[in-house]
Amino acid sequence: MTSSPRTLYQKIWDDHVVKTLDDGTALIFIDRHLIHEVTTPQAFEALRLAGRKLRRPDLTLAVPDHNVPTTARVLNGVRLPIVDPMSKAQLEALVTNCAEFGVELYSIDAPEQGIVHVIGPEQGFTLPGVTMVCGDSHTATHGAFGALAFGIGTSEVEHVFATQTLLLRQSKAMEVRVTGTLGFSVSAKDVALAVCGALGSGGGAGYVIEYTGPVIEALSMEGRMTLCNMAIEAGARAGLVAPDQKTFDYVQGRPRAPKGDAWDKALAWWQTLKTDAGAVYDRVIEIDGSAIAPLVTWGTSPEDVVPITGTVPDPMSFADPSKQAAAAKSLDYMGLTPGTRMADVSVENIFIGSCTNSRIEDLRVAAAVVQGRKLAGNVRQALVVPGSGLVKRQAEAEGLDRIFIEAGFEWREPGCSMCLGMNPDQVPAGERCASTSNRNFVGRQGPGSRTHLLSPAMAAAAAVTGRLADVRELMG
């Protein structure tokens, strides 16, 4: 019997259906559950009130990241207090809840602590072919391994805690094919932004995106994580890249990856995880990777992208009247005038970090630009925040911390940091930030903050020039 050709998404879905219901939804088994301090307190409390236990604590892994301070956490052997009461309460709740319900936790002091989407892959918790959830929209990151990974809300966190399943409606499958080869100093982040620009922030709604084509195949695992991380910014449920030899090499030997016979068995299955010839996607879009320039955002949605060689757009240049209005509002918030060259926009804050771009390759690329240079005089705050303790130590072993510190950057402890205004790292109102994170929403980096999303290389170029700058001119 021959089965009909299936997409990668369909294969992972089929493999996890516990029961299909009459209304078209299905109960899906969840292989991996990552948790952090922000979206779990009510879910744990609900279990407690119902007298329930966690169904599979062994498939659950916890780490604090959003609220943790990124400045020194201990001074002369004494723990420094967490000032914000809400942050403090959430961080403490994670510790007590994990102890009570038997969930393994990388504590704030653990060498492995970091951003949930950085530590999952790093520890080999993220594997090809698994279903993986977290109460966090950027769970899509793990799709880089060919895992079906997506963000869920707090009530779904509770459902997974109690049952290790979720009731889901299947998404449609979209292929985003990126052809050609990336140009000099063009990175996975530029591809991610290009996809947001091409699809728009709602264009992926109802879909799981599979990224294919020569550009994707050529990306490193870290680049694929950067790309999948932003699938949600195009509105998609998840992003996926079919696992290949690079994936297997990355996973092999990680602390939580299968070993011995279990590895051989897993590998044999993982090698089947690709879209079959003849399988049909519900939608296909193609992007010419060779034509992508280093991109920056001008507005308050990740779809608001323009090449660094471009100018601030005129709101009236958009065909859609609602986009015209949104663009005018964005420009007002961003304090930008149509026609201004992007490379003439000065920035006072630099943020290199977040689950999009805080891995070792990101730090290496940024350090290569910064090396032998200094922060521009108008830059008042420049943070490098490694994605995990392991990334931090690796960077220090390579001397990257020295390069940043000598240039005038602050070298911080791992966490979400200035990606969002939930901890002390914030962009002052009315100031701009060149940021390697994934969201430029109104107030995202603090009330009144103005965010320009870009790649690590471009953030480094902004740091040393004090404006949005074309990294190709610095490095060419």
Ligand X SMILES: CC(C)[C@H](C(=O)O)[C@@H](O)C(=O)O
**Bind-site residues for [4Fe-4S] cluster:** 355, 416, 419
Q: Which of residues 105-134 bind ligand SF4 (CB under 6 A)?
A: 115, 117
Q: Is 151 in the site for ligand X (CB under 6 A)?
A: yes
Q: Which residues are annotated as a binding site?
A: 355, 416, 419
> Could you say which of 37, 122, 136, 304 contacts ligand SF4 (CB under 6 A)?
136
Toward ligand SF4, which CB reaches closer, 165 or 356?
A: 356
Q: Judged by CB, which is closer to ligand SF4: 141, or 275?
A: 141
Residue 136 interacts with ligand X (CB under 6 A)? yes
Size of the site for ligand SF4 (CB under 6 A): 13
Minimum CB distance to ligand X smaller for 139 or for 187: 139
For 424, the token pair is 């002390």
Q: Interface with ligand X includes 32 (CB under 6 A)?
A: no
Residue 136 CA to residue 139 CA, distance in Å, equals: 6
Smallest CA-to-CA distance from 61 within 12, 102, 91 is with: 102
What does DSSP assign to residue 474? H
Identify which range of 4-12, 295-303, 398-406, 414-422 contacts ligand SF4 by CB under 6 A: 414-422
Answer for the pair 151, 232: CB distance below 8 angstroms, yes or no. Answer: yes
Determine if 152 is a binding residue for ligand X (CB under 6 A). Answer: no
Residue 115: which of ligand SF4, ligand X, none does it interact with, CB under 5 to 8 A by kind?
Answer: ligand SF4
Query: Residue 5 CB, nearest distance to ligand SF4 (Å)?
Result: 35
Interatomic CA distance for residues 404 and 369, integer angstroms: 10
> Which residue, 66 or 142, has its beta carbon nearer to ligand X?
66
| Element housing 266 (H / E) | helix 260-270
**How many Cβ atoms sit within 10 Å of the Cβ of residue 81?**
8
| Cβ–Cβ under 8 Å, residues 140 and 151 | yes
Task: For residue 129, report the phi and psi dihedrals to the nearest 5 degrees.
Answer: 75, -5
Interacting stretch for ligand SF4, rule CB under 6 A, among 76-84, 255-263, 266-274, 415-423? 415-423
Judged by CB under 6 A, the stretch of 149-157, 259-267, 388-396, 413-421 that binds ligand SF4 is: 413-421
Cβ-count burial 14-50 (b if 16+ within 10 Å, e if not): ebbeeeeeeeeebebbbbbbbbbbbbbbebbebbeee
With respect to ligand X, which residue has the nearer C-beta, 182 or 433?
Answer: 433
Which uninterrupted H or E stretch holds 218?
helix 214-218
Q: Which residues, 6 or more positions from 173, have their beta carbon under 8 angstroms from its beta carbon?
A: 7, 9, 10, 207, 208, 210, 281, 282, 283
Task: Tell me the closest approach of the beta carbon of residue 170 to ligand SF4, in angstroms.
Answer: 26
Residues 420-449 binding ligand X (CB under 6 A) are 420
Name the minimum Å distance from CB 395 to ligand SF4: 17
Q: Which does 437 bind (CB under 5 to 8 A by kind): ligand SF4, ligand X, none?
A: ligand SF4
Between CA 95 and CA 83 the distance in angstroms is 17
Instruction: Locate 188 and state its tokens.
Output: 């996975």
Which of ligand SF4, ligand X, none has residue 381 at its interface (CB below 5 to 8 Å by kind)? none
Give whichever of 160 and 355 is closer to ligand SF4, judged by the CB atom. 355
Show contacts with ligand SF4 in window 338-377 (CB under 6 A).
354-355
From the list ligand X, ligand SF4, none, which binds 240 (C-beta under 5 to 8 Å, kind-based)? none
Nearer to ligand X, 138 or 159 (CB): 138
The Cα angle at residue 163 between residues 112 and 269, in degrees rounded to 5 = 65
The full length of the chain comes to: 476
Cβ-contact 468, 452 below 8 angstroms: yes
**∠ at Cα 243 (391, 24), nearest 5°?**
110
Q: Closest distance between ligand SF4 and the C-beta of residue 110, in Å?
A: 17
137 lies in the site for ligand X, by CB under 6 A: yes
List residues near ligand SF4 by CB under 6 A: 65-66, 115, 117, 136, 138, 354-355, 416, 419-420, 437-438
List residues near ligand X by CB under 6 A: 38-39, 66, 136-138, 151, 420
